Amino acid sequence: MKDVVVQFSGGKDSFDSLIWAKQTYGDRVRAVFCDTDWEHIILYPYIEDCCKQLGVELTIVKGEYSFIELAKKKKRFPSTKARFCTEW
């Protein structure tokens, strides 16, 4: 069973965290990518390739609504004072 989960957005900081975790914990690492349907199309093959090269299992999770669907439903975009991820 894998017991080290790294949130991997495809950015430089989460990629560095993933590399560090792999070097530190080896095969116990799993990457999780949260797909909002707001990412650029080239990001998807990039994150898959990064995980493949590191030998890290990738799990992609999606919410019930995309980022845009949620913004339309709430009639606003999230902000630091009114986040989407902490309340419905």
Q: Predicted confidence band at 48 (pLDDT cuts at 50, 70, 90)?
A: very high
Averaged pLDDT for residues 19-37: 95
Token representation of residue 18: 């993933």
Which of 18, 40, 39 shows the shortest CA–CA distance to 29? 18
* Higher-pLDDT residue of 17, 77: 17
SS (H, E, C) the chain: CCCEEEECCCCHHHHHHHHHHHHHHHHHEEEEEEECCCCCCCHHHHHHHHHHHHCCEEEEEECCCCHHHHHHHHCCCCCCCCCCCCCC
pLDDT for 70 beyond 60:
yes
pLDDT for 42 beyond 90:
yes
